[in-house]
Each structure stands twice: as C-alpha cells, then as structure tokens.
Amino acid sequence: MKLVVLLKQTFDTEAKIVLKDGKIDDSGVTLIINPYDEFAVEEALRIKEKLGQGEVVVVSAGSDRAQEALRQALAMGADRAVLVKTDGLQLDESVVAEVLAKVLQQMEYDLILAGWRAIDDSSAQVGVRVAEILGL
C-alpha cells in the first residue's frame, strides 16, 4: 500500500513571535512538524506496520528549511520525502493545495493522510482542498 502524508512545518508552540516592519520575523524561531500532521505520519506508519508492507511518503511545500521537518518524518520511519520548493510564491491554503495536488497527480498512492488543521493558522483547509482538486 502506498501512503502519502501531507506535512506542514510550523513554529514551535513555545516560540515567541516577533514582528519586524509589520511582518513576522522567523529568524531564530524553532520550527516543528505541525502536530496534527505528525499524527498523520504516525497513523501511516501504523497502517504500514499492520499490513506488513507498503511505503510511506511525506510531501511538503515550502522553503529549504522544510527539509528539517521532512528529515524528522524520515527518522520516524517514513520511506521517502518530497519537498516542493515554493520560494517566492505568495502562499495561502489555495496555492499550497494546488501545488500539492499537482505533485500528487504524478504519484501513485492508495491513501492520502493529512492533519485536520495547522496549529499556526488553524485553517483546516489544505487537506480538503487537495481532495477536492483530485476528485476524491
């Protein structure tokens, strides 16, 4: 079974947010896997273990910095990681969903898992938007 997990990197819940020139300054801020996406990775690994076979692929859209979160998912047991670099793009849930859906359209998968919401913006949008775009 091929399992894909959508993964977002977010600020650590203990991070102190600083504004600089009206924008969030992320220098020095620790980034983590969005906790709900981490649950999705764990569930994909459980499914793979229960079946005794399969592949878990984590997919994220973001900058090079997102590699940290993907490496953590690989350390948890994921088999592969895909980073879609979005440097220079103005990202919102719609754009991220479009980008991820384009990548998924070129992959084989049996099941896509995503956290139900992101802790940084609480949008709960990307997973359902990807499903809509893919006709799932």
Q: Is the pLDDT of residue 67 over 70?
A: yes
pLDDT attached to residue 28: 67
pTM attached to this predicted model: 0.87
3-class state of residue 58 by DSSP: strand
Q: What are the residue ranges spanned by the domains of the chain?
A: 2-134
Beta strands (DSSP E) in 35-132 are 55-62, 80-85, 111-114
pLDDT attached to residue 25: 65
pLDDT-derived band of residue 106, with 50, 70 and 90 as boundaries? very high
pLDDT digits (tens, 9 = 90+) for 110-136: 999 999 888 777 788 899 999 999 999
In degrees, to the nearest 5, what angle opens at C-alpha 65 toward C-alphas 92 and 74? Answer: 105
Compare 62 and 134 and report the one with higher pLDDT. 134
User: Nearest CA to 100 among 74, 73, 128, 123?
Assistant: 128
User: Nearest CA to 49 among 7, 71, 77, 81?
Assistant: 77
Q: Is the pLDDT of residue 105 over 70?
A: yes
pLDDT-derived band of residue 9, with 50, 70 and 90 as boundaries? confident
Q: Give yes or no for a contact between 131 and 4, defined as CB atoms under 8 angstroms apart.
A: no
2-134 is classed CATH 3.40.50.620: yes
pLDDT attached to residue 2: 97
